[in-house]
Structure 1
Amino acid sequence: MAAVAQTPHTPLEGYVGFDSITSQIEAKLLKRGFALNIMVVGQTGLGKSTLVNTLFSSHLIESKGRLESHEAVRKTTEIHPVSHLVIENGVKLRLNIVDTPGYGDQVNNDNCWDPIVKYIKDQHSAYLRKELTAMRDRYIADTRIHVCLFFINPTGHGLRPIDVAVMKKLSDVVNVVPVIAKSDSLTLDERDLFKERIRAEMQYNNIRVYPFDNEEYEDEERELNERIRALIPFAVVGSEKQVVIDGKSVRGRKNRYGVINVENENHCEFVYLRNFLTRTHLQDLIETTAHIHYEQFRSKQLLALKESSSRQQAQQQAQQSNGV
């Protein structure tokens, strides 16, 4: 008796149901990968590069601070984007880090924020041009800044007037997340008081930092955002060095009083910041950039183009009338 050939099963012969669309979307997204664009802003010498490297456990950008105590602080002199592909459990993340010159370093710091704001707007403008192209790409490379980590000097006194000015300008165009740099220079009581002062000053000066309130959020998301806002500004410590604590190697900083374990929640809030950026709010940062900051920019640009076109038409009509 002849054997019956077995037809191999195909995906079309499996489970039928529209709820499988989630796995289809997931497969496509995993294949394409994700992009996260982070900008770091703050005074020179606050450890911006070191913190970014600590966040992603990789040497992504060169630290500009002192390598030795006797050295002068090295400075970032221009806005410098660096791109890296990070792969974790099969998920590809195109990580773009934008390092900025330390502001407030000059004698005259008038409008020192202009190059930073211009860079953010230029990325919006580049994305808009690609969107308006007749033969546009199927997937537009996204260089829009999704989050700006704003580094605050751990003075314990509060924000400087220039800090307030820069934060206000940035919060209009990007998701701003303030962090207290090198927070191990403060005692826990000093740190808590400093955080309260900064929150009060941000509220007084109407500085709107991320995460925002949104009516579309579920109760669980709102509760999470409330907990995040209670932590802001994150008091963090960054370190790429490995130190040994109780026979275990951890990332930390050693001083005359002991060792600061970067990932110990009792020492600093680094773990909360990392989870916030990579686990709980990564996608929301991307969506908020697109739906709020970019959309505001896009609306203003298109209205300006419409008004300019109307003026040109009016001028042409006036010239034709004068010619007649």
Structure 2
Amino acid sequence: SVMSPVRPPRRSSSSSSAGRKPLTVVARESGETDAVKETGTKETKRERRLTRRISLEPKKVEDDEFIGFATLPDQVHRKAVKRGFEFSFMVVGETGLGKSTLINSLFLTDLYKDRKFPNHILDNAEQTVDIERKQLEIEEKGVKVRLSVVDTPGFSEALNGEKSWQPIIDYVDRQFEQYYQAESGVNRKNIQDSRVHCCLYFISPYGHGLKPIDVFMMKKLHHKVNIIPLIAKSDTLTPKERSHLKNKVMEQIEENHINIYKFPECDSDEDEEFKQQDRELKSAIPFAVVGSNTVVEVAGKKVRGRMYQWGIVEVENPAHCDFVKLRQMLISTHMQDLKDITSDIHYENYRAEHLAEQMKQSTRERMKLKRESMLNPGKMEDTDNLIAQKDAEIQRMQEMLAKMQAQLQTNPRTPVNGT
């Protein structure tokens, strides 16, 4: 007789799970139920492909694992520090308002010790407003800043017509043009940025606010550079007079639609201390400043200040003037924002104007070609080709200009009254 095969006894679930290899879930397409296969068994190419697809899904990196991109900020920091930083600002105001003294006080240096024989850039052959550009390199805790200070000696109400302001406007535009040419060139690796990132505009403390020349000059500059208004020699004013003059200047700025530098809004996640600091800086505009490189002794402590019969004005005492707030804003907290606004708004405005002028020139050349075509029928074919090239060039510039204008309009920092 034929004996039936003996089946091996069934193992309990506990014993089978102990000796079984780990399980791998293989995904199925078309809504099929997931199949469970033992690891090590032969899989089809399709199953291996799907298994790899699952393994490539993003996963949370545990604390003891890291890929490396968390060091990107350190890489950017090292590169920026190695390259160094550039910052350029202009000082504008009447003669005798202490512009040079304030600049020396800000950077603890003497930029104008050779003022009688300045190494300056003369922007006008006539004796009008000379443009002096001083450069120095400041290093602090391994961070280097190449600083350019553009002074405008000779600017005052006594100068009439374009002689008083045109050299200043020309200088700002020329820096934009130089940067534009360098940016459009082949070698753009080491572009020197000499664009004016801000203008410290000095206001006389002796009048009743802005003079007509101040309003005119600020409106000429406000769509080209960040204007920071300062009340010069504020130690000549009582606290009440200083407060009144500040309010008067801000009223005139608003009435005349002058766009001075506006502080960016604080992010919601900033700490309360930073927000309070930002509020204090905003409320201090226009900064009432005092400059001095003279060291005097107050209560056994040596400070920079001015000594009078009635007492001592300390330059770095926030209760006496806004010098510390100006230095903090200009150097410690808002230098990069001033550079960003210069690049994203003022320079883009210049590029848009430059492109619009190129379009006008191309249109004039096209009209000239059209007239020549009508006068010389024999050369019509060649002229038509040139006209077609001009049309394509004009179309390309129109598209670029429209894109630039759209970007400027969507930028929340773009001034509304920027003309």
TM-score (normalizing by structure 1): 0.86
Instruction: Tell me if the contact between 1:103 and 1:109 (Cα under 8 Å) persists in the aligned partners.
Output: no
Instruction: Tell me if the contact between 2:203 and 2:231 (Cα under 8 Å) persists in the aligned partners.
Output: yes
In structure 2, relative to structure 1, the CA distance for the partners of 1:49 and 1:89 (3 Å cut) is same
What secondary structure does 2:316 align onto?
coil
Superposed CA offset, 1:146-175 (max 9, x none):
010000001251111111111111112100
What secondary structure does 1:296 align onto?
helix
Q: How does 1:71-150 map to 2 (within 5 A)?
A: 78-106=130-158, 108-109=160-161, 112-133=164-185, 135-150=186-201
Q: CA deviation at 1:228?
A: 2.8
What secondary structure does 1:103 align onto?
coil
- 2:5 alignment counterpart: none
Superposed CA offset, 1:149-205 (max 9, x none):
000001251111111111111112100000011100000011001101111111111
- 1:231 alignment counterpart: 284
Distance 2:90 2:279 in 1: 24
Q: CA deviation at 1:306?
A: 2.7
Q: How does 1:198-277 map to 2 (within 5 A)?
A: 198-212=249-263, 218-219=267-268, 220=270, 226-277=279-330
What secondary structure does 1:310 align onto?
helix
Distance 1:26 1:38 in 2: 24
Distance 1:223 1:302 in 2: 42
Instruction: Tell me if the contact between 1:213 and 1:222 (Cα under 8 Å) persists in the aligned partners.
Output: no
- Percent identity between the aligned chains? 41
Higher RCO (CA-CA < 8 Å; seq separation 6+): 1
Distance 1:196 1:63 in 2: 38
Distance 1:298 1:192 in 2: 40
Distance 2:258 2:280 in 1: 18
Distance 1:110 1:168 in 2: 14
- 1:10 alignment counterpart: none
Distance 1:223 1:246 in 2: 30
TM-score (normalizing by structure 2): 0.67
Instruction: Tell me if the contact between 1:156 and 1:191 (Cα under 8 Å) persists in the aligned partners.
Output: no
Letter in 2 for 1:131: E
Instruction: Tell me if the contact between 1:147 and 1:177 (Cα under 8 Å) persists in the aligned partners.
Output: yes
Letter in 1 for 2:344: H
Aligned length: 299
Letter in 1 for 2:193: D
Distance 2:275 2:366 in 1: 49
Distance 1:310 1:189 in 2: 59
* Structure 2: runs of 5 or more not aligned: 1-64, 117-126, 378-419
Letter in 2 for 1:210: Y
**Aligned Cα RMSD in Å?**
2.3
What secondary structure does 1:263 align onto?
coil
Distance 2:257 2:157 in 1: 25
In structure 2, relative to structure 1, the CA distance for the partners of 1:117 and 1:237 (3 Å cut) is same
